Amino acid sequence: MTVFSVTDFIAHINDVLARSWDAEELCVEGEVSGFRVSQGQWVNFDLKDDQGLVNIFMTVWQLRVPVEDGMKVRVFGTPRIYPKFGKFSITANRVELVGEGALKKALAALKARLEAEGLFDPSRKRALPVFPNRIALIASRESAAYGDFIRIINERWRGLEIHTYHVKVQGMGADEDIVKAIQAANARSASGSDEYDALVITRGGGSLEEMMAFNSELIVRAIHSSKIPTLVGIGHERDLSLAELAADVRGSTPTDCARRLVPDRIDVLRDLAHHTEKIENQLLETISSKKELIKRALRAPALWLSVQRQQLEQLASRAESNVQQWLKTLSDRLRNHVRLLASLDPKGVLNRGYAILRSTSGKTLTSVAGLSVGQPITIVLRDGEADARLEQIRQANKAKQQKLL
């Protein structure tokens, strides 16, 4: 016979219970009743069904879903007797809500609380860089989401460095796994060895229950406090997960995530070609305008010279025509003079039948005064001279003469 002390007995029973109960695999499902939190840190409630009841004990930090009386939950933990009071309870490390209705209700409550705290505030959302060089990808390696994401990245972009953080995306511990990956990526980026331009978290679609990890408060807070801009995309869900609401940028599917992360290189190559073409054209234009400038500069002296030459020619031709004119005027005047002189030539008068009388001394006689009868004179005619003597002298009446004049 073995005799146990009370303390030993309880220790023994607890040991047996711990060995026979696999806390990872087994859980108890029932309805919550008498839910209370004491001293802000201890959670106590009863889990019951129609015929049974068991007490549940846990810390508030382990309770990650909003629980209230009447809810159906699954409790994971270790059954044990609390030695001091001999009270049997399950020391829970995790509580899950059961049923879509309860999940939705809990989710709505959590969303409202986090929203009030400003975790989804659009004003604090950061833009992703247009051309990321290196990113952290948090996804399940085996998932279609991962495959889709990588495929689209490879289609669209080149030279991107992707660091994958393989995580569980659903089931027990998925939220913690993802949170650790977010923290690890941030730590790596902050250390400066591998700086990330973006943090991508993606998974395919699923039921609300499968998606619960992405509605966990832990993940929302981790995404919210990520120093790396976040891009979260979860496939084909009607309702947005809280993780997506907390992200800087949201993709509707893993494929959409990839499209939002990198531009299409075809577009970028086109832009590139456009830019270089523009630059080339502008440079050629500058060169040709310089050439034109030089050509103009070289042409200027020749132009000046030809203008000078032209002016010279004009002047010369003007001078020539003026000289001609002057000469003509001169010769006209000369001709007039000659004509005048010709009319004054006494020979002309002789031709018309007049005669010139000269004294023997050769003096032309124009008056009877001083003449004497018998005085020899010479008569000059058109074609010769004849000597004669004056026979009579008659002086013309002066008054009559005057009158005649």
Which of 197, 244 has the CB closer to another protein?
197
Q: How far is the CB of 21 from another protein (least distance, A)?
A: 25
> Residue 404 has which token pair?
């005649």
The whole-angstrom separation of Cα 356 and Cα 348 is 12
- DSSP 3-state helix, strand, coil percentages of the chain (rounded to 5)? 45, 20, 30
The whole-angstrom separation of Cα 140 and Cα 250 is 18
The whole-angstrom separation of Cα 379 and Cα 362 is 11
Which of 286, 364 has the CB closer to another protein?
286
Q: How far is the CB of 309 from another protein (least distance, A)?
A: 35
Which of 133, 325 has the CB closer to another protein?
133
Q: How far is the CB of 144 from another protein (least distance, A)?
A: 17
Residue 389 pairs with which residues in a beta bridge? 376
Which of 108, 294 has the CB closer to another protein?
294
Could you list the residues that contact another protein (CB under 8 A)? 129-131, 133, 136, 141, 150, 153-154, 157-166, 180-181, 183-185, 188, 190, 192, 195, 227, 265, 268-269, 272, 275-276, 278-280, 282-283, 286-287, 289-290
- Indicate if the alpha-carbon torsion angle 130, 131, 134, 140 is positive or negative: positive
Which of 97, 137 has the CB closer to another protein?
137
Q: How far is the CB of 164 from another protein (least distance, A)?
A: 5
Distance of CA 205 to the CA centre of its chain: 38
Q: Count the neighbouring beta carbons within 10 Å of the beta carbon of residue 358.
A: 14
Give me the residue label for tokens 């050439």.
291
Are 231 and 200 in contact by the 8 Å Cβ rule? The answer is: yes
By C-alpha distance, which of 239, 178, 167 is closest to 208? 239
Which of 115, 267 has the CB closer to another protein?
267
